[in-house]
Structure 1
């Protein structure tokens, strides 16, 4: 009897504990969660995975990022990646070419086989040929090997991501591509001398936006950037020239659009200061006078004067006619 009661009590106790655990698990989800195995971390995409990009409604749309590479002494021995993205609707075959270039006045790259300061033999790319599907990208590795006896200062080369013309049998074939300049600075003392000249603007403006241009020449041994916080300011006009880079040994024609006040005799200027403290500056005077509004104002005043003269004439005519009628009536009565 005692054994049965003990077994019965033990069974009842086990049942009670099971019920309590069940109730605790139901009423306290936080406690129940502590018994759940830890969630598996979301895997981070590996560098070899491809990101999908939105395509544009056009057969050809190729973008390259970054749009240029400027490599200094600290970048020696390091590979650099350029991301080539096909945002068009057609699959593209791309060949990477190296071209020597000089900077053109409009900022474009003028390819020249005998261009000075060329680094065409210093740079290698991988892969040099590849296919990119619509909405896909390809990473291209760029490595630089600077010769031991290289001249100090900037050397440059353009990487051209070229899409060869198709073989559709047409008579006109056009290669398409995007060029990325690569500036490589050889360690050592450098000269950043840049000068500004030929600041030009209309001497007279009747109002509205005014185009201002200038010429910038690089007489130093390295390229100079005038971008963002370092943009070239146009003093007296509260604006900056459009961002630009002037390569070693080249000259740039730069421009800005200025919205002047309604009327002024404005003196605008710009200046470039080099690392050695030497600066060059240019200034130009622009007379702004609102000819059209002034003409409209003068025309309106003349119209008002003519109306007043006409009204005065009509008034006098009316007075004269009234006087004549009175005189005529008086004569008739007599």
Structure 2
């Protein structure tokens, strides 16, 4: 018979607290519930998780299990210690009021059939139609870059299925207020606890609603993760001589100092002017686009000719040929 490491099954340490064990169980049970998981081994994993929790949630069973568990490794053949029957089985560990057929031979060899088993707190087992909470819902919410930069509150409307009783089902709109955290980025999700579907049984908790952030197009800025990008048109003399230019940012205009002899395509950084959360900083990057004015009058054309004489320059010299 194969020894089962219940701590490994729940992915907790051997000295984990009862609360840590409960949280681990709840997380794994939701993940591997056969009605939810697409994993081909979901049902088997779900049963293993329930069995492990049945032992580790009970102080007496856990103490008994721990008394020999350290001497065995998962995967090895297991035989209970010689005095196990007398020490633990004679007391008849109670496992609730349902059938034990879902538990392994290993469990049976330790604790016997008793009077069946009880579903862990807050859950029903798979063979009893497990559904501790309703299904999670997923949707998208479109926000502006300013909403992320400053943080915002939005009102969304969802169409919800409502049981009116007597077999009547209707779809009704429901408005929810959503807090947009400062510095949220595209693709992140906002969780609205308890705003998913209701559990199958009356009184069971609702699932959660997950809203994926989508940014609306901006007329001036583009965004890559937390960084904001702006293309800034400048004149040839601003680029050549240097200048201080008022530049738009999501938080308002700031002065940007162009160094003398700046070049077309050069990128300058405004630190901390991107999408900043409590722990992460985004920047704004300004790309210079030198715009050459048209020479329309004789005087303007003469000015360009004098520039060519005074500042002989061949930008194609590096091309060769």
TM-score class, shorter: under 0.3
Which has the larger share of helix?
Answer: 2
Q: Give the TM-score, by structure 1 length.
A: 0.24
Which has the larger share of strand?
Answer: 1
User: Quick one: higher RCO (CA 8 Å, sep 6+), 1 or 2?
Assistant: 1
Q: Give the TM-score, by structure 2 length.
A: 0.25
- In our comparison, the structure showing a higher alpha carbon Rg is 1
